Structure 1
Amino acid sequence: MTPEDVRNVRFPKAPFGHRGYDIAEVDAFCETLAQAFSGRGALTTAHIRQHAFSATAFGHRGYHRDDVDEFLDRACVDLESARRGESRRRTGGRILTPEDIRRLRFSPPPQDRPGYPADEVDVFLGRVAATLAHTGPGGLTSSEVRTIGFCTAPAGRAAYHRDEVDAFVDVVVRTLQTEERAVREHARS
């Protein structure tokens, strides 16, 4: 993803009866994101994943929430890759690839907060990578990932930052939902 890709993105309006995200807020955030892709600004993937947009005013239709969220999920993965100096080759429009999972690194939790056990999260990452590498039975579903729960790591045990892991789980859910939707549409045709 390039700064121009971010600046040129066009989101559809929310369906009738839905307010959607405030257009001015999304556009301003996309400009900040474009600056991050050009190496300016201190926007991190955590900032992107935690950013919340206001709903547009009553009686107006803002940007379709799902389309904005999906774009930001892709931007997080691409920004993380760009900061590591890696180029991403997108396959089939996927938000995540098995290679993304293998390269992923989470931060340790802050000193004053517990994290998720690293070994438990690593097993989950292995299952996600296997699911993305092979379609068919036996893989994780978006419903299963949505209900995943990690324990709290005991003191002294290797752990990952909870917010980062939780935000990543959201990206996995969205990726699997997109693939499940594509499979259903293909089956109908």
Structure 2
Amino acid sequence: MNRFPRVHGLRNGYDPEQVDALILRIEATLGRGALEGPPVTADDIRMSRFDIRLGGYHEVAVDFALEAFVIAIETRGVEREEPAPGPAVKVKAEDDDAPTLPGLGESESVAETMTAAWLESQAARVERVSFRPGRLGSGYNEDEVDGFLDRVVATLRGTTDRPLSADEIRTATFSTVMFKPGYSVSQVDAFLTEIATVLDGRSAPHESEGQRV
């Protein structure tokens, strides 16, 4: 069972077994399974460390998922509150419904929050990307590429009425300039292909084979 996307090629990522074991404990703490041992705290998640394995889980995907779980744990209030003397104080029971995260309605799940965090991380990545100059005095028109990347960011953030599809990103074309500044053709094409895969699997980082974190 793959809960998160794996790194591509001969790269290292987080040990899947260790990550899955922690996620199972977090789910149980949130009332989605049998809890063995003490509940997981937000600090436990923040302090978690994983071994590195070839072809392991994508680190960014896991990190953003864990950040969302920190919010869920802190919002849920796993530990019961001690009632104070005087007027009755409401105690948060451990069998409450799924947590309502700040800014989200009760129907929206932690999984949806992780998806939003993942897509936002990719949008920020597009905003930060820089390309080397084209070789031999030629390359893609920088203004055209920059304008297209703005549309990609808006698509990832859901702030456009005309979102791009993965195929549109993958097959985008730009004018080629000669003897003036331009972006490396191969680097731009490779980056857009990678971003297209993000849209192909919009459910990342939490979706697995028929099961969500």
Q: Normalization by structure 1: what TM-score?
A: 0.45
Larger radius of gyration: 2
Q: With a CA cutoff of 8 Å and minimum separation of 6, indicate the structure with the bigger relative contact order.
A: 2
